[in-house]
Amino acid sequence: MCGVCGCGDPEVVPVDIHEKVLSANERKAAHLRDHFREKGVLAINLMGSPGAGKTAVLEATARATGGAYRLGALAGDLATDHDARRLREAGIVSASITTGSACHLDADLVHHALHHFPWTSLDYLFIENVGNLVCPAIYDLGQAANVVALSVTEGEDKPLKYPVMFKAADLVLITKVDLLRHLPGVRLEAIIDALSRVMPRPLFFPVSATTGEGLDGWGQWLEERRRELGGAAAERRAAAIGPVRLAG
């Protein structure tokens, strides 16, 4: 009842919440992160525009590692399972997360997919997000790191146009660098300069899935992240497999 005159109108009660709107997603992502750490699986959230070369980089990674690691991938896709099929053909244990009209993956979608996916025996789990430089950036999936694929054919200024995505990136793979010689208007230095204006710690590898250029640096970075993951499972696996370097 109204506290002023007792008229029977409802009382308006202000309540301070001060809570992130996506906190439910973050709680689910934290749960996934615990699972990944416990099993010694390095989860990478791989994002980028449609056609940036996300799937091609993973195929090349599988070729370069030659079966030394157990690689898995969940491929977010609006309507098809083409990417998951390509990845399976490359030797990566893969499944699709078909999102319908949703433009990004969230922790719930990944959690659900993992129930039907043999992820616990993997060394690396790549979560290939829906091709999109905007929406996926703000959803935590429980990953150990965010990696953004940015192709040279997208032009020099993409980082400046999509700062939210690149702010969230731990690493940028500048892909299709073998095409640079055909692109007189695109300079690698300009892409790197743009990254330094949106990423406080710009870390990038220019790579080519076609020629294999730069894949050794990417492979070493992955190994270091897996070492950092720690946990008994990761150490046991490292000892069992021994140090393996990606051939560039």
Partner 1 sequence: MHEYSIVQALLERVTLEARRRGARSVHRLTVTVGELSGVETALFATAYDTFRQGTLCAEAPLEIRTVSARWECPACARAMPRGAVLCCPRCGQAARLARGDEIVLETVELEVP
Yes or no: say if 171 and 19 are a contact pair by the CB < 8 Å rule: no
Q: Which amino acid is at 235?
A: E
**Total residues binding partner 1 (CB under 8 A):** 37
Which amino acid, one-letter code, is at 76? G
Task: Locate 243 and state its tokens.
Answer: 């140090």
Q: Which stretch binds partner 1 (CB under 8 A): 44-52, 59-67, 145-153, 196-204?
A: 196-204
Nearer to partner 1, 90 or 105 (CB): 105
In angstroms, give the least distance from the CB of 110 to partner 1.
Answer: 14
Rounded-to-integer distance, Cα 29 and Cα 136, Å: 14
Cα–Cα distance, 139 to 22 (Å, whole number): 8
Choose the binding region for partner 1 from 9-17, 51-59, 115-123, 204-212 (rule: CB under 8 A). Answer: 9-17
Q: Print the binding letters for residues 139-168 with partner 1: x by CB under 8 A, - otherwise.
A: x--------------------x--xx--x-
Residue of 46, 97, 107, 137 that binds partner 1 (CB under 8 A): 137
- Per CB under 8 A, 100 contacts partner 1: no
Q: Using the minimum distance from each CB to partner 1, give the nearer residue, 91 or 155.
A: 155
Q: Rounded to whole angstroms, how far apart are CA atoms 146 and 189?
A: 22
Could you say which DSSP state residue 9 is in?
P
Answer for which of 7, 20, 232, 240 binds partner 1 (CB under 8 A) is 20
Shortest distance in whole angstroms from residue 48 CB to partner 1: 15
Measured from the CB atom, is 19 or 181 closer to partner 1?
19
Instruction: Please state the closest distance from residue 103 (CB atom) to partner 1, in A.
Output: 6
Q: How far apart are CA 123 and CA 178, in angstroms?
A: 29
151 within 8 A of 55, measured Cβ to Cβ: no
Answer for the pair 152, 176: CB distance below 8 angstroms, yes or no: yes
Question: In terms of residues, how long is the chain?
Answer: 248
Site string for partner 1, 25-64 (x = CB under 8 A): x---------------------------------------
Contact partners, residue 248, CB within 8 Å, separation at least 6: 64, 212, 213, 214, 215, 216
Contact 204, 173 (CB under 8 A): yes
- Binding range to partner 1, per CB under 8 A, among 18-26, 36-44, 53-61, 211-219: 18-26
Around Cβ 42, how many Cβ atoms within 10 Å? 23
* Candidate ranges 21-29, 39-47, 85-93, 205-213; the one touching partner 1 (CB under 8 A): 21-29
Asked if 203 interacts with partner 1 (CB under 8 A), we say: no
Backbone angles phi, psi at 215, to 5 degrees: -70, -25
Chain positions contacting partner 1, by CB under 8 A: 1, 10-25, 102-104, 106, 134-135, 137-139, 160, 163-164, 167, 193, 196-201
